[in-house]
Amino acid sequence: MAGKRTCGCGVSRRGLLGTAGATVAVTAVSACGEPPNPQEVRRGRVIGQTDEVPEGGGAVFSHSKLVVTQPEKGRYKAFSAACTHGGCTVQEVEDEVIRCLCHGSEFDVVSGEPLSGPAKEPLEPFTVTIDGTDIILD
Ligand code: FES
């Protein structure tokens, strides 16, 4: 259909707005797009603060297109926030699972491996260094 707008994951904006709650729709629409370009995710950059990443959970840093988790106290893991199914930015980390709400894929907070949903490939891993409370992309 001419003029139909879709995000990178193939979901129409109208579909997102019509089937999801307003908060989720706004997040999903702004989150959909191209997978992160490694060159735009600059190495050595502070991407967040440790107090933003709860133990046993994680946080999505959409400005850096990264999700950082803390599976155990003081042990941080980082992954590309681009869902390997269709490129949406994953939206939440809860109950030791990273979730993409576009189509329901779930990923392990330790390995980034897909646990359920249509994604079959793991989230791309990155490494981070903690300096005080700064989380720095290596
Ligand atoms: S883009 Fe389809 S589940 Fe994430």
Q: Which residues contact 93 (CB under 8 A, 6 or more apart)?
A: 57, 58, 59, 60, 67, 69, 99, 109
Q: pLDDT digits over 90-116, tens only?
A: 999 999 999 999 999 999 999 999 999
Domain that residue 88 falls in = 35-137
Q: Which atom of ligand 1 is found nearest the CA of 83?
A: 4
Does residue 1 sit within a domain?
Answer: no
Does residue 122 sit within a domain?
Answer: yes
Split into its structural domains, the chain has a count of 1
Q: Which atom of ligand 1 is found nearest the CA of 117?
A: 3
Q: For ligand 1, atom 1, which residue shows the shortest CA distance?
A: 86
Is the pTM of the predicted complex or chain greater than 0.75? no
CATH (domain of 75): 2.102.10.10
> Rounded to 5 degrees, what angle do the CA atoms 69, 78, 130 make?
85
Q: pLDDT digits over 56-85, tens only?
A: 999 999 888 999 999 999 999 999 999 999
Does residue 78 sit within a domain?
Answer: yes
Does residue 73 sit within a domain?
Answer: yes
Give residue 71 CA to ligand 1 midpoint distance, Å: 23
